[in-house]
Amino acid sequence: LEYVEAAHFPTILKEYRSRQLYLSHKLYQLPIVDDILKQAFDGLVLCSADIFRVTTLILFIHNFGDLHVELMGEASVDVNLEKSFIMDASGEMVGWARQNGYGFIDLNVFANNLKNLPRDAMKETVSLQRKIITYVWDNFVEIAEDASVYLVAYGGASFPISELFKARDVTKKLKGVAQIIGKSQTPAQVTRVTGADDWFVKNGVVYVGVDSKDEALFGPRAGIGRIEQLSTTALRGPVVMQRCIPRLDELVKSGRPFGHNLA
């Protein structure tokens, strides 16, 4: 295995973010024993030290650093501005959880910049994402026996959610799923998974910063849960994240199913 020689911007962003989350919130790297997963996601799976002791656990899945998705349609990149967007939004999410005494697992599914991986692992990015999300679920989330688990997914990490629901019966452990969807992002849909599709609709909420009139993506048949429109104009994903935190806070503390309409 060889690392790509030239350090590229997404790598710098991810490394900077990991360091800041350790300094600010004491998030530590989770151990990965699988060689391929370790090479692909080394430094990208972080957690608080209390994940096996808390009664509430937040599993935050995202793809920060994937500028192809973040900047779709943008003509140029301001490095400092992108760093600020990512750090401010994700820092607020982690800070909210830690201030409330919740355990926190931070999973970045945007794999490290690698080459010469075995062919079967390079067929699709989805292959690696499916493996890392199930690895984290099996080895950490599933054995946090006393915790009520809430899955929060940011934009480009929506597809791995679908893969997790296909690979594991997570409905007994999960209490709710919140998706954060901004400009150029689409929500996960859990379909054709026995028992999971109905659960997803009843226990899922999607915080939207884009036009949600697209029936294929956001209509009743999409099977994504309740829609909360946070803006009538297109918003970047990090902005949607910041705006949804007070709503997510109220929902988790209320104990209501995420899919129920608020009074």
pLDDT tens per residue across span 100-115? 999 999 999 988 876 5
* Side-chain half-sphere exposure of 254, counting CA atoms within 13 A: 15
Model confidence band, residue 6 (pLDDT cutoffs 50, 70, 90): very low
Burial 53-64 (b: 16+ CB within 10 A, else e): ebebbbbbbbbb
Instruction: Report whether 62 contacts 86 (CB < 8 A).
Output: no
- Other C-beta atoms closer than 10 Å to the C-beta of 118 total 10
Confidence at residue 261, expressed as pLDDT on a 0 to 100 scale: 55
Which of 4-8, 74-78, 129-133 holds the top average pLDDT?
A: 129-133
5-9, 13-17, 196-200, range with the lowest pLDDT: 5-9
Q: Which residue has the higher pLDDT, 157 or 174?
A: 174
Q: What is the DSSP letter of 143?
A: T
Confidence at residue 102, expressed as pLDDT on a 0 to 100 scale: 98
Q: How far is CA 242 from the centre of its chain?
A: 14
Instruction: Report whether 100 contacts 148 (CB < 8 A).
Output: no
> Which run of H or E residues covers position 236?
none
pLDDT at 209 over 90: no
Q: What percent of the chain has pLDDT over 90?
A: 40
Confidence at residue 126, expressed as pLDDT on a 0 to 100 scale: 76
Q: Which residue has the higher pLDDT, 54 or 163?
A: 54
- Mean pLDDT on 191-214: 80
| Residue the block writes with tokens 């150029």 | 184
Model confidence band, residue 86 (pLDDT cutoffs 50, 70, 90): low
| C-alpha torsion sign, points 68, 218, 130, 91 | positive
pLDDT at 263 over 90: no
- Which of 59, 9, 65, 22 minimizes the C-alpha distance to 41? 65
Question: Which pLDDT tens digit goes with each residue over 193-204?
Answer: 667 888 888 999
* Ramachandran quadrant class, 210 (left: phi over 0; alpha: psi -120 to 50; beta: rest): beta
214's tokens: 């697209």
| Residue the block writes with tokens 């997790």 | 164
Instruction: Report whether 30 contacts 18 (CB < 8 A).
Output: no
- Other C-beta atoms closer than 10 Å to the C-beta of 184 total 18
- Strands 45-47, 204-208: pairing is unpaired
| Residue the block writes with tokens 């939004």 | 89
